[in-house]
Amino acid sequence: MLNILLAEDSRAGEILVELLHRTFQDIEVSWKLDGALALDDFIYDNFHVVITDLQMSELNGVQLAKKIKDINPNIPIFLWTGTVSSDIEHSLFEQVIMKDDLDAFSDEESIFRQCVENIRDNLGI
């Protein structure tokens, strides 16, 4: 079974969960509404993939990705966003990408198609 952790605080999470269930035969998706809840879930469960939004309350996607990579540097993490709203967030995002902490990045318009392709490529399914 493919076990995916999704950290997303908007309705896009619901759409992505539906798409993932339609695309993959044997899948479980744990959807958390903020990064702190996602990190707690990650610590106590065995996930194959993490998908996170950039802008969330409590713990944003960049912070979440760094903390997860500290725990498991081999897990694929996909970060996405509709917009990068500030220079600070953009700078943080670029720092993470430059360190290869993330396996893919996508904007809101293409996330659904790219998410499935990236999961397949990274997990060989």
- Domain annotation for the chain: domains and CATH numbers: 2-123 (3.40.50.2300)
- DSSP secondary structure letter of residue 125: -
Query: Across residues 41-60, what is the average pLDDT?
Result: 89
- Helix (H) or strand (E) segment spanning residue 73: none
Q: Which residue intervals of 24-86 are DSSP H helices? A: 35-44, 61-71
Q: Read off the pLDDT band of 15 (50, 70, 90).
A: confident
Q: Is the pTM of the predicted complex or chain greater than 0.85? A: no
Distance CA 121, CA 125 (A): 7
